[in-house]
Amino acid sequence: MKHFPIFVALEGRRVVLSGGGDAALAKLRLLLKTEAHLTVFAPSPAQEIEDWHAAGKLRLVRRAMEPGDTTCAVLFYAADEDDAEDARTSAIARADGALVNIVDNLQDSAFITPAIVDRDPVTVAIGTEGAAPVLARAIKADLEARLPATLGTLARIGKAFRKAVEVLPMGRKRRDFWSEYYFGTGPRAMDEGGEEAVNNALPALLDTHVKAEERQGHVAFVGAGPGDPELLTLKARKALDAADVVIHDRLVTPEVLELARREATLIDAGKTGFGPSMSQEEINALIVEHAATGAQVVRLKGGDPTVFGRLDEEIDAVDAAGIGWHIVPGITAASAGVAAIGQSLTKRQRNAAVRFVTGHDMKGYAEQDWAALAQPGEVAAIYMGKKSSRFIQGRLLMHGADRATPVSIVENASRPEQRIVATTVARMAQDLEAADLDGPALTFIGLAPRAAEASLSLSTQEFA
Ligand code: SAH
């Protein structure tokens, strides 16, 4: 970084510019936004400069600059667009101790003027050290479009209200208040009734936050279902609507997260890819930490929170902290999976019981009652069974399972990318490998897709 961005205090300070043409006009338009005392030296100034002078916005001296003209100036702009004249005027200013900028002469300038996005008092300065003015302009245009024109007004009103907000404890509580003001209440009130409405909305907003302060924290363990947001329960939606904090795992789809309250803080507790995912202890601590500050926490888990969700460990941690909680059930992957293949989990005269089993547990591949699972007519839904499919296949065959026992694997059940692999115990491991699934997948032992059931061929089939 060859130039360090700073914001210079110009209120009541002296800024001098030499020049009266286009370059001078461009700089003056920016400088007129400040509260500096502006003096312009120009033997033949453009009409606009005359007008600004007449309006009292700057002081115009209709002659070339002389030594002594830049006394006490903080900044000086050489904008005569003439190398010799710029060198002469900037030498005078330098001698008077001003920071000098020569228009279109990066080399001899002590500072450069950035592209500015002005939402006073919020100001964004964009600089490319002269390397790419086009880029600076593009970034400026992008930000201009993105930042609402009323942002500055909101910030100004907000600034005046800062003292009142000190009734809220520092940290998260205050941050929550301000984020709701800037991204919710503030812009809404501005749209509805301008500055006055914003001024009126602030005390009411603060009041809600002060009252919320006295509110007890609470944790809702909510089932997010298999992915399709329409498979959320009404209670899950309500909980998401009221959440201050949503702590979700990797299985929860973006479409479901989209339904969380806009102001809620979303925390991904199942992040993989960049380093290891959070440990269960860290997740427990995170839930407790947020609820302890009075937040309404939604612990959002894929499917049903009570199925292979390590729910009890989280409940124990919340209980130990003396925090209230409740469970909102969700549609588990097994339910969404059988729906996808058009089958029932139980069926008269076929199976009076169904097992939900996990492919692996904390110790590795999970052992099950294989002898029972290998019986004809048995139905099992295997969660987390992708990696362990060869192990499961081996165990089933070892315990005498019929090689032709149907097996259905449903990947991404209920989601647009849903895929079904129909196979048999004899071929399940190799067919699964060949299908190269990368989403969550559920393996059903003892169930074929209803459509494939009729056909004798039980070779691999995929249904989009
Ligand atoms: N509580 C969850 C299960 C968590 S264990 C539930 O009730 O569904 C994670 C496993 O669930 C995954 O490895 C996969 O086997 C299964 N699973 C979750 N969502 C799934 C989906 N949409 N389609 C297929 N399998 C899914």
- CATH number of the domain where residue 27 is located: 3.40.50.720
Q: Assess if residue 126 is contained within a domain.
A: no
Q: Is 441 in the pocket of ligand 1 (CB under 6 A)?
A: yes
- Ligand 1 center–CA 222 separation, angstroms: 15
Q: Assess if residue 156 is contained within a domain.
A: yes
Q: Answer yes or no: do 202 and 226 share one domain.
A: no
Q: Answer yes or no: do 245 and 198 share one domain.
A: no
Q: Answer yes or no: do 346 and 454 share one domain.
A: yes
Which residue, judged by its Cα, is nearest atom 18 of ligand 1? Answer: 333
Do residues 427 and 384 lie in contact, with contact meaning Cβ atoms separated by under 8 Å?
A: no
Sheet (strand 14-18) strand order? 59-61, 37-41, 14-18, 73-78, 99-102
Q: Assess if residue 411 is contained within a domain.
A: yes
Q: Is 251 in the pocket of ligand 1 (CB under 6 A)?
A: yes
What's the sign of the alpha-carbon dihedral 173, 176, 180, 183? positive
Q: Is 444 in the pocket of ligand 1 (CB under 6 A)?
A: no
Pocket test for ligand 1, best of 308, 311, 386, 407 (most atoms within 8 A of CB): 308
User: Distance between CA 200 and CA 190 in Å, rounded?
Assistant: 11
For residue 178, count CB atoms less than 10 angstroms from its CB and return exposed for 0-12, middle for 13-18, buried for 19 or more: middle
Which residue, judged by its Cα, is nearest atom 5 of ligand 1? Answer: 308
User: Distance between CA 120 and CA 46 in Å, rounded?
Assistant: 28
Helix or strand or coil: residue 352?
coil
| Residue at which a domain ends, from 113, 141, 172 | 113
Q: Answer yes or no: do 309 and 342 share one domain.
A: no
Q: Answer yes or no: do 224 and 298 share one domain.
A: yes
- Ligand 1 center–CA 264 separation, angstroms: 25
Q: Is 396 in the pocket of ligand 1 (CB under 6 A)?
A: no
418-422 contacts, C-beta under 8 A, 24 or more apart: 418/340, 419/462, 419/463, 419/464, 420/340, 420/341, 420/449, 420/461, 420/462, 420/463, 421/460, 421/461, 421/462, 422/341, 422/448, 422/449, 422/452, 422/458, 422/460, 422/461
Pocket test for ligand 1, best of 231, 232, 233, 251 (most atoms within 8 A of CB): 251
Provide CB contacts within 8 A for 427, sequence distance 6+: 459, 460
- CA-415 nearest atom, ligand 1: 22
Q: Is 335 in the pocket of ligand 1 (CB under 6 A)?
A: no
Q: Is 388 in the pocket of ligand 1 (CB under 6 A)?
A: no
Q: Is 431 an annotated catalytic residue? A: no
Q: Answer yes or no: do 190 and 272 share one domain.
A: no
Count structural domains, the chain: 4
Provide CB contacts within 8 A for 369, sequence distance 6+: none
Q: Count the neighbouring beta carbons within 10 Å of the beta carbon of residue 169.
A: 10
- Ligand 1 center–CA 226 separation, angstroms: 7
What's the sign of the alpha-carbon dihedral 281, 282, 285, 290? negative
Do residues 225 and 303 lie in contact, with contact meaning Cβ atoms separated by under 8 Å?
A: yes
- Per-residue pLDDT 10s for the chain (464 aa) are 899 999 999 999 999 999 999 999 999 999 999 999 999 999 999 999 999 999 999 999 999 999 999 999 999 999 999 999 999 999 999 999 999 999 999 999 999 999 999 998 899 999 998 888 899 999 999 999 888 788 899 999 999 999 999 998 887 788 889 988 988 899 899 989 999 999 999 999 999 888 876 778 999 999 999 999 999 999 999 999 889 999 999 999 999 999 998 888 999 998 654 456 789 999 999 999 999 988 999 999 999 999 999 999 999 999 999 999 999 999 999 999 999 999 999 999 999 999 999 998 778 888 899 999 999 999 999 999 999 999 999 999 999 999 999 999 999 999 999 999 999 999 999 999 999 999 999 999 999 999 877 664 444 444 43
Q: Assess if residue 131 is contained within a domain.
A: no
Question: At residue 6, what is the residue type?
Answer: I
| Residue at which a domain ends, from 171, 193, 211 | 211
Q: Answer yes or no: do 19 and 101 share one domain.
A: yes
Do residues 305 and 299 lie in contact, with contact meaning Cβ atoms separated by under 8 Å?
A: yes
pLDDT at 184: 86
Question: At residue 3, what is the residue type?
Answer: H
267: its two tokens: 């925390």
- CATH number of the domain where residue 381 is located: 3.30.950.10
User: Distance between CA 299 and CA 315 in Å, rounded?
Assistant: 11
Q: What is the largest CA-CA distance in the chain?
A: 106
User: Distance between CA 181 and CA 187 in Å, rounded?
Assistant: 8
> 111-138 as b/e, with b when 16 or more CB fall inside 10 Å?
eebbbebebeeeeeebbbeeeeeeebee
Which residue, judged by its Cα, is nearest atom 4 of ligand 1? Answer: 308
Q: Answer yes or no: do 326 and 367 share one domain.
A: no
What residue numbers bound the domain in which 204 lies?
151-211
Q: Of 176, 228, 249, 431, which one is the catalytic site residue?
A: 249
367: its two tokens: 């052992």
User: Distance between CA 257 and CA 248 in Å, rounded?
Assistant: 9
Q: Of 271, 316, 319, 438, which one is the catalytic site residue?
A: 271
Q: Is 410 in the pocket of ligand 1 (CB under 6 A)?
A: yes
Q: Answer yes or no: do 21 and 90 share one domain.
A: yes
Do residues 44 and 65 lie in contact, with contact meaning Cβ atoms separated by under 8 Å?
A: no
Q: Answer yes or no: do 296 and 222 share one domain.
A: yes
User: Distance between CA 389 and CA 436 in Å, rounded?
Assistant: 13
Do residues 76 and 70 lie in contact, with contact meaning Cβ atoms separated by under 8 Å?
A: yes
Q: Assess if residue 128 is contained within a domain.
A: no
Phi, psi of 195, rounded to the nearest 5 degrees: -55, -40
Q: Considering the entire predicted model, what is its pTM? A: 0.60
Q: Assess if residue 279 is contained within a domain.
A: yes
Find the angle CA(100)-CA(106)-CA(112) to the nearest 5 degrees: 55
Q: Is 225 in the pocket of ligand 1 (CB under 6 A)?
A: no
The DSSP line for 365-414 is: EPP--HHHHTSTT-EEEEET-STTHHHHHHHHHHTT--TT-EEEEEESTT
Helix or strand or coil: residue 316?
helix
The enclosing H or E element of 243 equals: none
Q: Assess if residue 135 is contained within a domain.
A: no
Q: Assess if residue 139 is contained within a domain.
A: no
Q: Is 297 in the pocket of ligand 1 (CB under 6 A)?
A: no
- Ligand 1 center–CA 416 separation, angstroms: 15
Q: Is 440 in the pocket of ligand 1 (CB under 6 A)?
A: yes
- Ligand 1 center–CA 192 separation, angstroms: 45
| Residue at which a domain ends, from 282, 307, 331 | 331
The DSSP line for 4-50 is: -------TT-EEEEE--SHHHHHHHHHHTTS--EEEEE-SS--HHHH
Do residues 435 and 441 lie in contact, with contact meaning Cβ atoms separated by under 8 Å?
A: no
Q: Is 271 an annotated catalytic residue? A: yes
pLDDT at 276: 62
Q: Answer yes or no: do 232 and 313 share one domain.
A: yes
- Ligand 1 center–CA 225 separation, angstroms: 9
Q: Answer yes or no: do 370 and 422 share one domain.
A: yes
- Ligand 1 center–CA 227 separation, angstroms: 9
Helix residue ranges, H only, 96-150 = 133-146
Q: Is 384 in the pocket of ligand 1 (CB under 6 A)?
A: yes
- CA-385 nearest atom, ligand 1: 15
